[in-house]
Amino acid sequence: MQVAVIGCGYVGLVAAACLAELGHDVICVDTDREKITLLNSGESLIHEEYLPELLCRHRGKRLFFSWDLEEAVRQSLIVIIAVGTPANESGDADLSYVETATREIAKALNSHKTIVEKSTVPVQTNAWIERAMALNGCSASDFDVVSNPEFLREGTAVTDFLYPDRIIVGSRNHRAAKLMRQLYGKLLDGSYSVGEGAIPAPDDAASVPLYMDTSPETSELIKHASNAFLAMKISFINAVSVIAEATGADIEDVRVGLGSDKRIGSAFLRAGIGYGGSCFPKDVSAFQAIAAACGTDFKLLQDVRQINEDQLKRFVAMVRKALWTVKGKRLAVLGLAFKSDTDDVRESPAIKVIRELLEQECQITVYDPGAMERARIVLKDSVNYAAEPYLAMNDADALLILTEWKEFAKLDLTRVRTLLKYPIVLDGRNLYSPGQMREAGLNYYSIGRPPVEVLHPVPARANVAKIG
């Protein structure tokens, strides 16, 4: 099928590349001409495993990039809206980009189109799109509007799309529902995974995804409720970590014991400095706004947000306690992205911690394997940037680990101790065990676990400048 994807961000770009991988002809459209130029020249723009491979495989063959939305709509049978829906000042989702895309689609309509709402939107947005199409002169017989939310995790977005747990489709008629089944046909019959050159399946991939035909309103609610629930799990384990720290319990053992209950599960049950990114913060706020509009005071969501904010404050307080005073201290920070395997720094807890410490007049050197360039746009010259993790540690008063990159869990701890001015490590992601740090002679502070405090003198450091 011929498909137009409006929006070349995380969702739109991944969806376009993966639909081309499934055999469809795709035009991905964006108003940002510089972005389109870069994509046409071979850039992938975002850090996602397998995405560069798919773009290289299909660019100019089944996948095209353009800023001509009208022509893309005219050529396509299915038009996917994948534009941003950021939170506004009141916490509601800003649907202005969705409205603009809808208006442009209406102007370009030359035959029946199935409009697929893939952006994360409040319940009843589907109905508003239908209304907007009508107000812009389109007959109800000329289009269908379908809700088909994405369930992609940054860092594993390509495999999440090609090996999904579930595909949710909300439509109002059989014609649209049938077309959507055709769109995902190779995933539903399992033929994609056995095809030549298929992206490898994750170890825990379902053989066949759950496919749910439902109403648009139900589909929209499933998406918002899913993100809010996952954010709640993160906040729940972080709230429990406060009790663990106060009582001398080990939150990692609590996590294993709690997560082994099949009714609960271990996913998103890891204590840390909180959630971030482009989805959870805005979706929890938007869901709370939706509840308020429906006359419901969803107090649980406010608690989820508050716990997340408090977790950052608690970590900064932990830094102050470990260092006695922080003014003028030199800190090494590993991690800038909001999570590992992505370059996304939007609403990143790491960035928020850094900004808070900068306000307290710390000197900070940072390193991240994927997010350095995006972080420079945000932090500018307020911090120093190291080319690799050990360079960041040279003569620092303490090391802070703020993102759970795998390479940060494999540091040479002997070298870390040699490079640091004082043997102090604050781990906001619990990447190490207290036993490892004790053996390495490092003072170690983590989330929801008793601290490791090494009292013996620090050995003299040699040739700290000669590192590489």
Residue 239 pLDDT greater than 90, yes or no? yes
Token pair of 35 as six digits: 């972005």
Average pLDDT over residues 40-62: 95
Q: Domains in the chain and their CATH numbers?
A: 2-214 (3.40.50.720), 224-307 (1.10.1040.10), 311-445 (3.40.50.720)
pLDDT tens string 435-444: 999 999 999 9
Residue 181 pLDDT greater than 90, yes or no? yes
Of the candidates 262, 265, 279, the residue with the CA atom closest to the CA atom of residue 237:
265
Average pLDDT over residues 110-122: 94
- Please give the Cα distance from 448 to 467 (Å, whole number): 33
User: What would the DSSP string read from start to end of 152-199?
Assistant: --TTSHHHHHHS-SEEEEE-SSHHHHHHHHHHTHHHHSSTTTTSTTPP
Average pLDDT score over the chain: 93
pLDDT tens string 312-321: 999 999 999 9
pLDDT tens string 338-397: 999 999 999 999 999 999 999 999 999 999 999 999 999 999 999 999 999 999 999 999
Phi and psi at residue 372, in whole multiples of 5°? -60, -45
Residue 306 pLDDT greater than 70, yes or no? yes
pLDDT tens string 75-101: 999 999 999 988 887 778 889 999 999
In which band, very low, low, confident or very high, does the pLDDT at 467 lie, cut at 50, 70 and 90? very low
Burial class (CB in 10 A: 0-12, 13-18, 19+), 136: middle
In which band, very low, low, confident or very high, does the pLDDT at 462 lie, cut at 50, 70 and 90? very low
Task: Please report the pLDDT score of residue 93 as a whole number.
Answer: 85
Q: With contact defined as beta carbons under 8 Å apart, do 408 and 334 qualify?
A: yes
Residue 457 pLDDT greater than 90, yes or no? no
Of the candidates 406, 428, 405, the residue with the CA atom closest to the CA atom of residue 275:
428
Average pLDDT over residues 99-123: 94
Comparing 415 with 206, the larger pLDDT belongs to 415
In which band, very low, low, confident or very high, does the pLDDT at 456 lie, cut at 50, 70 and 90? low
pLDDT tens string 241-266: 999 999 999 999 999 999 999 999 99
**Rg over CA atoms, the chain:** 24
- Which range, of 243-247, 283-287, 333-337, averages the lowest pLDDT? 283-287
Q: With contact defined as beta carbons under 8 Å apart, do 55 and 63 qualify?
A: yes
Q: Which residues are marked as active site?
A: 279
